[in-house]
Chains A and B, each alone.
Chain A
Amino acid sequence: MISWMAWTLPVAVFFSVIAFILMCMTVYEVRSPCVERKGFLPIATTRGDRLFIGLLSSAYLHLVFLGLTDLNLWIPLAISVIWLAVILRWG
């Protein structure tokens, strides 16, 4: 039934992590609803907005590394994690 989806471990981990983050954010939001605020980003954002901006920019960062360099993908991944933390805290 799901064999056609051709699951692989890294992809499964990737989607689990995303799902886990979303779940945490939902719980956090229900416990303590957040208000829009203005950080170093040019627009006022909520917590969810910052997460989305962080994830999307991380995806582009990976593409840039893949397209322009032959460096190992762990490098952009590490940068992304730091970037995500920065943007969630101060963005």
Chain B
Amino acid sequence: MNKTENNKAWFLVLPVFLLVAFSAVIPLMTVVNYSVQDIFDQNNAYFVGAEWFREVLRDPRLHDSLLRQFIYSFAVLAIEIPLGIAVALMMPTKGKMASLCLILLAIPLLIPWNVVGTIWQIFGRADIGLFGAALNGLGIDYNYASNPGDAWATVLLIDVWHWTSLVALLCFSGLRAIPEAFYQAAEIDRASKWAVFRYIQLPRLKSVLVIGVLLRFMDSFMIYTEPFVLTGGGPGNSTTFLSQTLTKMAVGQFDLGPAAAFSLVYFLIVLLVSWLFFTTITHMDKAK
């Protein structure tokens, strides 16, 4: 891209800069301040140095929720990315049916997150929900409210239901961008279906897949609402992910210092991961 050098362009980004700085920098500074103090109320705060960080980094509860979070996010990616690609490959390519599929697939994305939780809260119950009743009818003892494994699997299933469409839509638009001539050439060479996918479709999907992985990883990494509505993080701690733990600490117990230290550790993880993705994306753009 042949962009011109012009520092006056800063005036065009200034509104965005100020708006986001107001909502991001001031809270960030505040969080850093909280993280080094023991705060009882407005006028009773004591400087404790890095004590909260030490405590938070060694807290087994947080190790657990961090581990749970990573396993969950990887499970989400491992299911949603292949499934999304498969759905995109199966979609009709053009015409009214394609539009209809697009809209139907997009519906879960537009439902408020707590309503998504509510839908599955009802759908999964053994007494009033089709899903729960069907599973129990098949002889599977399924109860998300009392069995930790079931709750975890349900939250994962909700995420698959909710977000696979995003990956599918991304891949669909990536596939649309492949010129017809590529397929014709493959046909002449009598390439197998797999070869077409491996050497024509998959390389073209790379850039949308990176975006898909980025968005899905980050959003599953901050998941809060669905488990909150479904079981409130329970039973036990089976669906207590990072955001749940943090919100419980900050709002529930009002432990400002540890919560702030925890926030910063959480933020640093996010910062590292998004930097890795961003670097990958910019390098791919450049390679084009």
Q: CA of A63 to CA of B35 in the docked complex: distance in angstroms?
A: 13
Whether the Cβ atoms of A10 and B36 lie closer than 8 Å is: yes
Q: CA of A52 to CA of B268 in the docked complex: distance in angstroms?
A: 12
Known contacts: A8-B33, A11-B32, A63-B53. The answer to whether A56 contacts B7 by CB under 8 A is: no
Q: Is there a chain A Cβ closer than 8 Å to B50's Cβ?
A: yes
Q: Is the interface of B mostly helix, strand, loop or mixed?
A: helix
Whether the Cβ atoms of B275 and A56 lie closer than 8 Å is: yes
Q: Is there a chain A Cβ closer than 8 Å to B29's Cβ?
A: yes
Size bracket, chain A contacts: 20 to 34
Whether the Cβ atoms of B33 and A7 lie closer than 8 Å is: yes
B16-43 interface with A by 8 A CB criterion: 26, 29-30, 32-34, 36-37, 39, 42
Chain B residues with Cβ below 8 Å from A43 are 279, 283
Chain B residues with Cβ below 8 Å from A66 are 50, 53-54, 57
Chain B residues with Cβ below 8 Å from A11 are 29, 32-33, 36
Known contacts: A11-B32, A15-B29, A67-B57. The answer to whether A60 contacts B272 by CB under 8 A is: yes
Size bracket, chain B contacts: 20 to 34
Q: Is there a chain B Cβ closer than 8 Å to A4's Cβ?
A: yes
Q: Annotate A1-21 by CB proximity to B: 1 below 8 A, 0 otherwise.
A: 001111110110011000000
- Tell me which of A3, A5, A30 contacts B29 (CB under 8 A): A5
Q: Is there a chain A Cβ closer than 8 Å to B47's Cβ?
A: yes
A63-85 interface with B by 8 A CB criterion: 63, 66-67, 73
Q: Is there a chain B Cβ closer than 8 Å to A59's Cβ?
A: yes
The A/B interface has a contact count, at CB < 8 Å, of: 51
- Tell me which of A10, A30, A63, A73 contacts B57 (CB under 8 A): A63
Whether the Cβ atoms of A5 and B7 lie closer than 8 Å is: no
Chain B residues with Cβ below 8 Å from A63 are 53, 57, 265, 268
Residue among B33, B39, B271, B275 facing the most chain A CB atoms (10 A cut-off): B33
Whether the Cβ atoms of B42 and A4 lie closer than 8 Å is: yes
B188: min CB distance to chain A, Å: 40
Chain B residues with Cβ below 8 Å from A30 are 7
Q: CA of A56 to CA of B269 in the docked complex: distance in angstroms?
A: 10
Q: State the A residues within 8 Å of B (CB).
A: 3-8, 10-11, 14-15, 30, 43, 52, 56, 59-60, 63, 66-67, 73
Can you spell out 16 A-B residue pairs with CB atoms less than 8 angstroms apart? A3-B42, A4-B30, A5-B29, A5-B33, A6-B33, A6-B45, A10-B36, A11-B29, A11-B33, A14-B32, A15-B29, A30-B7, A60-B268, A60-B272, A63-B268, A66-B57
